[in-house]
Amino acid sequence: MTRSQIAPPPGPLDSAMAAIERNVEAAVADLGRMIAVDTSFPPGEGYDAFADVMEDLLAPMGFGFTRVTVPEALWRVEGGPASGARTNLVAERDTGKPVCGLYYHVDTVPVAPGWQRDPLSLTIEGDALYGLGAADMKGTIAATLLALRSAAEAGVELAYDPMLLLCTDEEGGLYPGIRYLAEQKILKGHILNFNGSAAPRVWAGCFGIFNLQLTVRGHAVHAGEGNRTGTGINAIEGALPVMNALMALKPDIASRASALTPPPHATGPLRPSLTISAIEGGTAGGQVPAELKILVSRRYAPEESYEEARAEIEAAIAQAVAQTTGLGLSIDLVGHLIPTGDPDGPHWPRWQKALSAGFGYQPDDFHKWGAASCSDFGYVQKAGFGPEVLLGGLGRPASCIHSPEEHTTRQDIIALARSILAYLAADFSADLNPEHRFQERASTT
């Protein structure tokens, strides 16, 4: 074999890509630690404990930390579902390079009935990794840690200083943490948002959602006295006209269509929706129930007005309540994410190439589309954050996100870690890096 036939040794980026697969079990262990911290929202009481875990994992990589707590006056609703400190963790390494924000919401939905495995303990079955938040979105944090450790191990020079944004209350909260960070002008650079899917997608924006808590009040008495005139008022039975009115409104809302481009797998246009999401009330068979709480969720298209959508619901409720004498009602907004507009910008081509490097996509695989699912980044845009927001993640149709048996896989964590590593690396497709092109132009003038 001649000297010219000898393969050159792998460069730092190739070595780091190999290290990602070699070190994946460390990422699995990290994911196990994260899943063990209950950050379900509501109520959202595990945020400080989760920040403790993240500081422990990130400190060895040279990150400094700032804890930013959303003031209680912004999110607390009397009798609402949220409680506990809304602690957001910002982790930074400042070397003077351009900043790339890496966004994660650390809250999960509550545990739904039907789990066959312990949702707060990582269960490993073959390549599958089961646990609450495994795909949405603690697994994306594990993939990021895997990418950063592998980069350090192989000596990869990064194009950006990563700024990790570990945020609260995305799952339907009234005042998401990323909103507060944006309004406080804490965000820097452009942002990689990992609240997306593992699909070859270019983000076109998404719907908004608001959650109304209806509190229906009657009067509690002994159940044996409840049929006597002027005594008990059954809040549950009295609420039936309200629920019937909401169900009558539901198909009308679902008949509307949005112009937002639907996913390639969709069978029709994206449509708004109304859902009765939760009901809580009553105490015992021997007592007429005095109170019932109903959570109503309304997903609304970018073309719709929040004010008009809420007024439509409240008008239907008011008409229904009028049918029951003595029934009390209050309506509180307990969660709201506004629609997110198209976050396009100059960094998308390089992120697409990085996703291809990790997941093996081809250029023709990518499509631009929106979703009826929601994001807290509408608030980031409203706050005047100018640079674009890129989207990635671990979600797949089979991942059971927001459902029992939520899971991701080692292979998807490896693929996402490789995508993140490629995007952050200085020598990956530098010709597509807007900051690199700007620096080159500046050096020649």
So what CATH class is 8-205+339-443?
Answer: alpha beta
Sign of CA dihedral 136, 137, 138, 140: positive
Residue 442: pLDDT band (50, 70, 90) is: very low
What pLDDT score does 2 carry?
Answer: 55
Q: What is the mean pLDDT of residues 59-73?
A: 98
Over the stretch 178-198, which tens digit does the pLDDT of each residue have? 999 999 999 999 999 999 999
- Whether 441 has a pLDDT exceeding 60, the answer reads no
- Whether 163 has a pLDDT exceeding 60, the answer reads yes
Could you tell me how many residues make up the chain?
445
Q: Where in the chain is the domain with CATH 3.40.630.10?
A: 8-205+339-443
CATH topology of domain 207-337: Alpha-Beta Plaits (3.30.70)
Joined tokens for residue 184: 């406080």
What pLDDT score does 289 carry?
Answer: 87
Q: Where in the chain is the domain with CATH 3.30.70.360?
A: 207-337
Collapsing DSSP to helix, strand or coil, 429 comes out as coil
Over the stretch 8-65, which tens digit does the pLDDT of each residue have? 677 999 999 999 999 999 999 999 999 999 999 999 999 999 999 999 999 999 999 9
pLDDT: which is higher, 222 or 282? 282
pTM of the model: 0.92
- Whether 230 has a pLDDT exceeding 80, the answer reads no
Joined tokens for residue 443: 């050096």
What pLDDT score does 284 carry?
Answer: 87
- Whether 371 has a pLDDT exceeding 60, the answer reads yes
Q: Which residues contact 203 (CB under 8 A, 6 or more apart)?
A: 196, 342, 343, 368, 370, 389, 390, 391
Residue 225: pLDDT band (50, 70, 90) is: low
Q: What is the mean pLDDT of residues 403-432?
A: 97
Calpha distance 303→309 (Å, rounded): 11
- What is the number of other CB atoms lying within 10 angstroms of the CB of residue 230? 7
